[in-house]
Structure 1
Amino acid sequence: MGNGSNPTYFYFVIFENQGYTRYIFFILGLTLYLTILIFNVIILLVIYVEKMLHRPMYLLISCLSFNSLYGTAGLFPRLLTDLLSDVHTISPSSCHIQTFVIYTYASCEFTILTLMAYDRYVAICKPLQYHSIMTPSVLIGMTTTALFYPMFCFGSLIVVSSRLQLCGNEITKLYCSGLSVLRLSCEEFAPSYILSFIVAVTTVFIPMVYILYSYIRILIICQRRSSEFKAKAFHTCLPHIVTFVNYSIAVFCEMIITRYEPWELPEFVIVILSLEFLIVPPVLNPLVYGLSFLEIRKKINNYLRKNLILKIILTLFRLF
């Protein structure tokens, strides 16, 4: 390929020389994807059907589950296809779409967690004003902003990146990412890196700072209250804290790997670190909320007694 020419396809080099182990990885990947689908669909179904759960906290939990389904849909179908295929190429347009889905998933996870932290802050620090602050219109407005702002940011970034002149077509990850494409650029393109920095600050670092600030304020308030109040606050905040810490660690692992050139790390390290933020949170989040919140756990147990969960699982297996 000559200098300055744009490739007609990208090639995933990491799938080379997998041999028969790819079938093992396919079974593991399919099992994991079905697990993610089942867990998150159950959470969505319970919250949607039960009107008593139509409250800000639970609606934001459902947004988190929906985002998990959205993000993993951008990874697993393509990944499972590549594991069974002998040709591991992807068109530039499909690559940009996958990048958009995965990046907006990652960013929306933080913005949704920010809204959840704000909801807990208002509920604990301003309980008498909670219903006047967290009105349906306010919740809809905040949720819409939290979902569409990352889409606008990353959509703009991908449009800019798609105009770059590329001098290669080999991607060293299991999926398309913006940095993988930028590394194929024939020359440094400052606007793309500046825009990437702005997007990262506004969709990742600012939400992280606000979440930390919210829980620090909650901790200060709890220190002045009774033991019963502390226990209740701890019970409602713990799932959010676990989710936030888990996802922050996963994103941190992804950020670490971007600082290295592909040949500087073992292949299995690249695979594990690059997939953690796309696999661990979608599995862990529904478990955390399903087990921690009594209302959700009761409804799931009722559904189990009625065999509704089994029907959902069988329906999902039929789709595959």
Structure 2
Amino acid sequence: MNQTVLHSTVFFTAYGPPGPLNYAAFFLTFLLFFITIFSNISLMLVIYLESHLHKPMYIFLFNLAVNGLIGCLSVCPKIMDNLVNDIKDISHKGCLLQVFFSSVYATCAYVILAVMAYDRYVSICKPLQYHSIMTPSKVKMLVALVYFIPITMLAFQIFITSRLPVCSHNINKLFCDNLAVVKLSCVESALSNLYGICVIASLVVLPFVLVVLSYIKILLVCLKVSKESRTKAFNTCTPHLITFINFSTAILFSVIYNRHSTVSKEVNVLISVQFILFPPLVHPIIYGIRTKEIRTCITKIIRTKIFPNSLDFPHLKSERKLVPIMTLDGTAAGQGLPV
């Protein structure tokens, strides 16, 4: 029985024993996790409740927020659990599920950002044809592909990884990733390595190139238009561009981290948290600050749905005074007008 349990369990060696540092990391992770969940759900509610935000750009943004929740929920609860418990482990099947959902988060985010870049390209470079190109049916198709392609490719990758024989049970990280699980195997798998390269090329490199090409074309168009049109285009693209750079930076750090896993516990915590929490935490904040329509809708929802009466603060208003209306002979004629 113990032998069976051992062979179905993976142990994390990057946490160290429970102590002040682990509790501090738990508090920081929990705080970021809570803010991330709250900000993404808030953004989703704003887009859902406001009908005039039911446009392609905001529909894709809604799905980016959904994807951020997938990333947070797939990893952070287990990280927090391991930070305060003596035994830092996960079942082998649970580890594979963690790999699957964290990989879905990473790849779907890139595909969504590529689709959003395409939407911005059509909006700026082909404004007169925008509504004929970005039709509701096409938007639905793009959203379906955003999830269908990565999930299908990653499901097959997890299947290949799950078939590898396991000879080791220790991972020097805070959570499971595909490369770490493959390294637990007794044998080298050429199929796993080759397919992993195909996944990265299709779901990371290709979307990255498409985003870059979209912005090159947008930049070329902006150089030919008036200053006012150029400013409007830059304001429209800035939130997406910041989001893209932020996520690409997180992916870059994650790749470096995966290739050099012999790092200190503090670096382990920092890299794990920034990859899973920082992009989905920053994305709704960026769009909430930089996008006027979302700011306006948030203010409207707060004023009309959350605090419909209290924002008037009647107790702070000064009492209205009545100015008597004077007749031509100088006598008062009634109570007068309020001021």
Calculate the TM-score normalised by the size of structure 1: 0.91
For residues 76 and 305 of structure 1, the distance between their equivalents in structure 2, rounded to whole angstroms, comes to 34
1:276 corresponds to: 274
Is structure 2 residue 158 aligned with structure 1 residue 158? yes
Among candidates 279, 282, 298, match of residue 296 of structure 2: 298
| Structure 2 partner of 1:317 | none
User: For residues 172 and 60 of structure 2, what CA distance do their matches in structure 1 show?
Assistant: 35
Aligned match of 2:88? 88
CA distance 1:53–1:42, change in 2 (3 Å):
same
What residue number does 2:336 align with?
A: none
Q: Distance in 2 between matches of 1:208 and 1:35?
A: 28
Identity of aligned residues (%): 38
Query: Is the 1:113–1:211 Cα contact (8 Å) retained in structure 2?
Result: yes
As a proportion of its length, which structure holds more helix?
1
Structure 2 distance, partners of 1:191, 1:249, is 29
Q: Distance in 1 between matches of 2:95 and 2:59?
A: 32
Task: Determine whether 1:128 maps to 2:117.
Answer: no
Instruction: Give the CA deviation at 1:293.
Output: 1.1
Preserved contact between residue 9 and residue 169 of structure 1 (Cα < 8 Å): yes
- 1:225 partner amino acid: V
Q: Which letter maps to 1:10?
A: V
In the TM superposition, residue 19 of structure 1 has moved relative to its aligned partner by: 1.7
2:169 and 2:221 map into 1 onto residues whose CA distance is 54
Runs of 4+ in 1 over 4 A off after TM superposition: none
Which residue number corresponds to residue 174 of structure 2? Answer: 174
Deviation, structure 1 residue 306: 4.9
Q: Which has the higher contact order (CA 8 A, sep 6+)?
A: 1
Structure 1 stretch displaced more, 210-219 or 290-299: 290-299
Say which SS state the counterpart of residue 82 (structure 1) adopts: helix
Q: How does 1:113-262 map to 2 (within 5 A)?
A: 113-260=113-260, 262=261
CA contact (8 A) 1:253 1:274 kept: no
Q: C-alpha displacement at 1:78, in angstroms?
A: 1.2
Aligned equivalent of 1:286, options 284, 287, 295: 284
- C-alpha separation between the residues in 2 aligned to 1:142 and 1:211? 15
For residue 74 of structure 1, give the secondary structure of its aligned residue in structure 2: helix
Q: Quick one: structure 1 residues 275 and 28, their matched pair in 2 at CA, closer, same or farther if it must change by over 3 Å?
A: closer
1:266-294: CA deviation from partner (whole Å, max 9, x where unpaired): 33223322332211111110011011111
* CA–CA separation in structure 2 for the residues paired with 1:198 and 1:271: 29
The whole-number CA distance in structure 1 between the counterparts of 2:103 and 2:146 is 14
Aligned to 2:56: 56
> What does residue 37 of structure 2 align with?
37
Pick the aligned partner of 2:306 from 277, 297, 308.
308
The residue type equivalent to 2:47 in the other structure is: I
Question: CA shift at 1:148, angstroms?
Answer: 1.5
- Counterpart of 1:17 in structure 2: which amino acid? P
Q: Secondary structure at the match of 2:11?
A: strand
State how many pairs are aligned: 303
* CA apart distance, 1:307: 6.9
Q: Tell me which residue corresponds to 1:315.
A: none
Which residue type is aligned with residue 275 of structure 1?
A: V
Structure 2 distance, partners of 1:147, 1:245, is 22
For 1:7 and 1:230, the matched residues in 2 are separated by 60
- Classify the secondary structure of the residue corresponding to 1:108: helix
Q: Secondary structure at the match of 1:15?
A: coil
Once residues 306 and 178 of structure 2 are traced to their aligned partners in structure 1, the CA distance between those partners, rounded to angstroms, is: 41
CA distance in 2, matches of 1:8, 1:20: 31
Deviates more, 1:193-202 or 1:183-192: 183-192
Amino acid at match of 1:65: A
**Alpha-carbon distance between aligned partners in 2 of 1:87 and 1:259, rounded to the nearest angstrom:** 26
Instruction: Name the SS of the counterpart of 2:173 in structure 1.
Output: coil
Larger mean Cα displacement after TM superposition, 50-59 or 20-29: 20-29
Per the TM alignment, residue 120 of structure 1 is displaced from its structure 2 partner at its CA by: 0.3
Deviates more, 1:112-121 or 1:142-151: 142-151
Tell me the CA shift for residue 34 of structure 1.
0.9
Structure 1 stretch 280-289 or stretch 9-18: which is displaced more? Answer: 9-18
Specify every segment of 5 or more residues in structure 2 that has no aligned partner in the other structure, as ranges.
Answer: 1-5, 308-339
Take 2:238 and 2:212, find their aligned partners in 1: how far apart are those partners? 13
Q: For each residue in 1:91-117, what CA deviation from the matched residue of structure 2 results, as whole angstroms up to 9, or x when unmatched?
A: 111111111000010000000000100
Asked if structure 2 preserves the Cα contact closer than 8 Å seen for 1:167 and 1:186, the reply is yes
Residue 103 of structure 1: aligned partner: 103
Segments of structure 1 that go 5 or more residues without pairing to the other structure are 1-5, 310-320
Query: How much has 1:24 moved relative to structure 2?
Result: 2.0
Name 2:327's counterpart in structure 1.
Answer: none
SS of the residue corresponding to residue 90 of structure 1 reads strand
